[in-house]
Amino acid sequence: NAGVTQTPKFQVLKTGQSMTLQCAQDMNHNSMYWYRQDPGMGLRLIYYSASEGTTDKGEVPNGYNVSRLNKREFSLRLESAAPSQTSVYFCASSVGTGRGETQYFGPGTRLLVL
């Protein structure tokens, strides 16, 4: 099992460019999440998908869109990148959204927006 995989590992964008971050999990999990990690801020939830076909906003959704393509894949799209979106992005998955379910994280995507 690869667990949670993310592509790309690194990306440099210019302001205004668009890109999609890909995430896939092979653990047959129902729920998937996108977080961003900024220095001194911990992890903050951008969007999540409780199950295939559903998505909901997290704490910091502005400037992002998501697609739950199927049970395995959950993508994050930046339509018009801004320097404030420079961050490390983590995808995670869990069996469900029940209280206390363990979230399994991917290795992250480092994004730099110039």
**Cis preceding linkage at 107, omega within 30:** no
Residue 68 Cβ vs other proteins, minimum distance, rounded to whole Å: 14
Residue 98 Cβ vs other proteins, minimum distance, rounded to whole Å: 6
Instruction: Tell me which residue of 39, 43, 41, 42 sits closest to 92, measured CA to CA.
Output: 43
Dihedral angle of Cα 105, 108, 62, 113, to the nearest 10 degrees: 170
- Contact (Cβ atoms closer than 8 angstroms) between residue 96 and residue 81: no
Q: Binding other proteins by CB under 8 A: which of 46, 66, 108, 113?
A: 108
Residue 5 Cβ vs other proteins, minimum distance, rounded to whole Å: 10
For other proteins, the binding residues in 34-93 under the rule CB under 8 A are 40-45, 48, 50, 56, 58, 90, 92
Q: Find the part of the chain contacting other proteins (CB under 8 A) among 14-22, 63-71, 72-80, 101-109.
A: 101-109
- Contact (Cβ atoms closer than 8 angstroms) between residue 42 and residue 60: no
* Contact footprint for other proteins (CB under 8 A): 4, 31, 33, 40-45, 48, 50, 56, 58, 90, 92, 94, 96-108
